[in-house]
Structure 1
Amino acid sequence: MGAITMTELPKLALGAWAWGDSANYFGNDYDESHFKNVYNASIKAGLNLWDTAYAYGKGKSETILGDLMANTPRQDLFISTKFTPMMADPGNKNSVNEMFAGSLARLKTDYVDYYWIHNDDDVELWTPKIIPLVKSGQVKHVGVSNHDLHEIKRVVEILGDAGIKLSAVQNHYSLLDRTSEKAGILEYCQENGIKFFSYMVLEQGALTGKYDEDHPFPAGSQRAVKYNSKLRELSGLNHVLAEIGAKRNVSAAQIAMAWAIAKGTFPIIGVTKVEQVEDAANVAKISLKDDEIQALENSAKEAGISTIREWEKDMTD
């Protein structure tokens, strides 16, 4: 059996960005044994699409995921990983092949369902190098991440000349960063049958209600650097998320996820605990009303903060 078909995809993906967090980005020191229950819970819940990258812990995330998925039939999984240009040598003609081969080895697989160009470092240089991997059958779907609309259209042209369709775009998209929507990227994807994967929907935990001025992010972590100074401004939005969640007997985080689904995107939810998997599994049952969506978006606008990170850009520029 080949790759899982599009109709079999769950409503969202689970992300392993925080797995193997050697750089103290997220402020956890979990080892592989910790993630075993998390992975098993995902399979039990039918959430079988995992998103990772070599860039996450320089392969540690892929290694952990590969070890855990070794006993799951490959055809029962949908695996997404990435080529990261900023970690490659532009002068090495085999950079893409070498990084891809490393990913396959760590993931213990002979193909990936989605392979992404992780950023827009050089569309003309890197896009053509993905083509042989698709033609060999090792990559089932091509995606681009952190690309603006002009760059996405150029990728479509380059792949199209080789008879390949761009399957997906993966950008930062949340109540606090809607620049991909304002720039017309969501609309373009919907019009052209391109799946929009939204990452950082929960702003790395800032939109879960777990963190506030009295309960900040772990000191020394990159999350603390980015969000702790903004927790006061986020209190209003987190209150609205919690209020809507309380009426439905779900969490604030689940409402933020449901908002992303309601906007026509495919969220990637980072998980490090079993309860987070369980929350994600139940999001598909939530259907937000128009007035709830409007209330959330109004509150986010009132917060007036930017969460665009150092590796990203405002897609409207």
Structure 2
Amino acid sequence: MALQAWSPLDKGALAGRTRADNPARRMDPVFKTVAGDRVLQETLARVAERLGTSRAVVALAWLVAKGAFPLVGARRRSHAESAAEAARLDLPGWAVGELDRASGRYRSLWGRCCSELSWSRVLPGLLQALVFKYILRGI
């Protein structure tokens, strides 16, 4: 059994996009939260700089390192190239650890999903909570 990561870059938030410049981003409370998370954004930027790659590549490689298969939408050639680079990148342990710590607050999504997320995201939120709780934390 394998986990497929739905919206692995959260509408670009994990690639460094922080402006809600279209309806999908404006209506997505998860995008707003992740885009405004300074700790996570700075950690992604620092790891990407140290590895000489982009935030998107680092975020996708982190998912792969956790055993997930990210489903990436590619509107441009550069998107497909980033996905391919992430598949080849063997993320070092220090980077996985930093990203785990920076994303730790999202592992408790289960308790917040119904109060903080809109109903349009409840089902994905519940699934994400189960994934974080049981798979990515390593039961």
TM over 0.5: yes
Q: How does 1:147-186 map to 2 (within 5 A)?
A: none
What one-letter code is carried by the residue in structure 1 that aligns with 2:54? S
Q: How does 1:100-115 map to 2 (within 5 A)?
A: none
Deviations 1:35-70 (A, max 9, x none): xxxxxxxxxxxxxxxxxxxxxxxxxxxxxxxxxxxx
Q: Give the number of the structure whose residues are more often helix, by fraction.
A: 2
1:288 and 2:91 aligned: yes
Q: Provide the alpha-carbon RMSD of the alignment.
A: 2.4
Match of 2:137 in 1: none
Match of 1:311 in 2: 123
Deviations 1:53-94 (A, max 9, x none): xxxxxxxxxxxxxxxxxxxxxxxxxxxxxxxxxxxxxxxxxx
* Equivalent residues of 1:200, 1:268 under 8 A apart: yes
What one-letter code is carried by the residue in structure 1 that aligns with 2:123? W
What one-letter code is carried by the residue in structure 2 that aligns with 1:310? V
Distance change in 2, residues 1:281/1:198 (3 Å) = same
* Equivalent residues of 2:60, 2:70 under 8 A apart: yes
> Tell me, what secondary structure is at the counterpart of 2:28?
helix
1:256 and 2:59 aligned: yes
Instruction: Please give the alpha-carbon distance, in whole angstroms, between the structure 2 residues aligned to 1:202 and 1:280.
Output: 11
TM-score by length of 2: 0.71
Larger Rg: 1 or 2? 1
* Residues matched between the structures, number: 117
> Tell me, what secondary structure is at the counterpart of 1:288?
coil
Structure 1 gap ranges (5+):
1-193
Q: How does 1:22-171 map to 2 (within 5 A)?
A: none
Instruction: Please give the alpha-carbon distance, in whole angstroms, between the structure 2 residues aligned to 1:305 and 1:203.
Output: 17
Instruction: Please give the alpha-carbon distance, in whole angstroms, between the structure 1 residues aligned to 2:102 and 2:13.
Output: 14
Structure 2 gap ranges (5+):
134-139
Cα deviation, residue 310, structure 1: 2.9
1:222 and 2:34 aligned: no
Match of 1:195 in 2: 2
Taking every aligned residue pair, what percent have the same amino acid on both sides? Answer: 23
Cα deviation, residue 258, structure 1: 0.3
Match of 1:246 in 2: 49
Q: Give the number of the structure whose residues are more often strand, by fraction.
A: 1
Distance change in 2, residues 1:237/1:277 (3 Å) = same
Cα deviation, residue 305, structure 1: 8.0
* From 32, 47, 71, the counterpart of 1:268: 71
Match of 1:11 in 2: none
TM-score by length of 1: 0.34
Tell me which stretches of 4 or more aligned residues in structure 1 moved more than 3 Å: 302-308
